Each structure stands twice: as C-alpha cells, then as structure tokens.
Amino acid sequence: MSQVTEWLRQLVAAIILAGLLEMLLPNNELKNVTKMVMGLLIMMILIQPLIKVFVLP
C-alpha cells in the first residue's frame, strides 16, 4: 500500500509543478518545450508501476 501512496505523491507533485511552471513562464517557445518535457515526465511517472511489474522477476 505504501508503494501506491508514494506513486500517487510523485504524480500529484509532478502535476502541481507542471501547473506552476505553465503559469510562471511567458508565452514563448520555452513554455512549449517545458510543457512537452513536463508531459513526458508525467507519462513516465504514470507507467512506472507497469515497468516494475513487467521488468522485475
């Protein structure tokens, strides 16, 4: 159960960080790149439990 809690904490922290960065950055190319990187980070956090299930014996 603690692994699920830790996974949810990571996910919520990444989403909050992405939202804050999106609000703080000006509208330019840097904002678009940052949104893409944060989206990739959130996707990595989402699939992290699946990787642990299928990779570890």
pTM of the model: 0.79
CA-nearest of 52, 57, 54 to 6 is 52
Q: Please measure the distance between the N-terminal and C-terminal CA atoms of the chain and give it in whole angstroms.
A: 20
pLDDT cut 90: percent of the chain above it:
51
Task: Give me the number of domains the chain comprises.
Answer: 1
pLDDT of residue 56: 67
Q: Could you read off the pLDDT of 7-42 as tens digits, one per residue?
A: 999 999 999 999 999 899 888 888 889 999 999 999
User: Does 51 have pLDDT greater than 90?
Assistant: no
